[in-house]
A = this chain, B = another copy of it.
Amino acid sequence: MLSASVEVRVRYQETDKMGIVYHANYFTWFEAARIELLDLMGCPYSSLEKDGFYLPVLSCRADFLSPAHFDDRLTVRVEIKNLPLVRIEAGYEVLREEEVLVTGETTHAFVSAEGKVVRPPSDFVEKANRFAGL
């Protein structure tokens, strides 16, 4: 299974005057979980960019079930939901202990430095398959 998780501690800066985490910040945490997953796969995102591959966000969504607050310690889980990987779909859960606060999704494609959609690098596909146990 292509999955990973990171721990985040809610920063004061991430709250708003409602006293809860501003909704857009969850997408930054989703990013942190993706970066971790790429690390675990052996394809750190910074290396991909050095090789001329970018993984911009094509779409994203989130459902906010329950608010997170300042200083909460949260777990952000990501799971790649599809193989092969021409259009990558990642699903997310943000948990405070056992409680799911937020679920979400992002989709991505590999693009070149010029912004053209390209095939995923073969090294990436191989490592993804190996990590997924295929």
Contact = CB atoms under 8 A, between A and B. Distances in A.
B20 A19 contact: no
Nearest to A13: B28
Interface in A71-90: 71
A121 interface: no
- Please report whether the interface of chain A is mostly helix, strand, loop or mixed according to DSSP: mixed
A70 to B, nearest CB: 6
B27 A23 contact: yes
Taken together, the copies of this chain in the complex come to 4
A11 B28 CA distance: 8
A44 B71 contact: yes
A67 B116 CA distance: 12
Given A27-B24, A46-B70, A70-B46, A56 B18 contact: yes
A15 interface: yes
B15 A16 contact: yes
A54 B20 CA distance: 12
Interface of A: 9, 11-13, 15-20, 22-25, 27-28, 31-32, 35, 44-46, 54, 56-64, 67, 69-71, 115
